[in-house]
Amino acid sequence: MKYFLLLPVFALFMVACGDASYETEENDYTDEEETTEVEGDGIHYGEKIDEEGLMDYAELMARLEAQDSVFAKVVAEVSDVCQKKGCWMNVYSPDGSEMDSLFVQFHDYGFFMPLELQGKVIIDGVAYRDVTSVDELRHYAEDANESEEAIAAITEPKEQLKFMATGVKILQ
């Protein structure tokens, strides 16, 4: 029941991420110009983020062991970004330790990340556990330009740690 309210958001992501109707011959449509703000402390996407109240990545992982969801603002390292539109990214602990990664999506599909994004970011939103269906996993593998063999090898749903971000700040 806790995740019931998130279902429409996930449905929108699945439809919008694979929908080519946003693309034109001249340029891909993104809301980046409308939701991006460059400041001295970084580049903001979505809601502007300050660094007050940052949670340590390890603390977030520990809290997710005991809770279904956690509101958090955390520093993370980007490992990869959706190569179609920048509509999701995977992040991990900024200290390089062997902690679980987070699959990050963006609230209301309201902003996208640069496809070449690397380095540290601050993400603000809610972290939660969710089971990702085979169809979704295959969709994300296509977005990441995985081989047809790798996509076909996805045959089981997977429990993942996810993060619905209301804002992202790329640290300079």
State in words which class domain 4-27+63-170 has: mainly beta
Task: Write down the domain spans for the chain.
Answer: 4-27+63-170
Distances (CA, A) of 24 to 30, 37, 69, 85, 138: 11, 24, 38, 13, 25
CA nearest neighbour of 109 among 79, 90, 87, 86: 87
What is the per-residue pLDDT for 156? 97
- State pTM to two decimals: 0.78
Per-residue tens of pLDDT for the chain, all 172 residues: 444 444 444 444 444 455 433 333 333 434 444 467 776 778 999 999 998 999 999 999 999 999 999 999 999 999 999 999 999 999 999 998 878 999 999 999 999 999 999 999 999 999 999 999 999 999 999 998 999 999 999 999 999 999 999 999 999 7
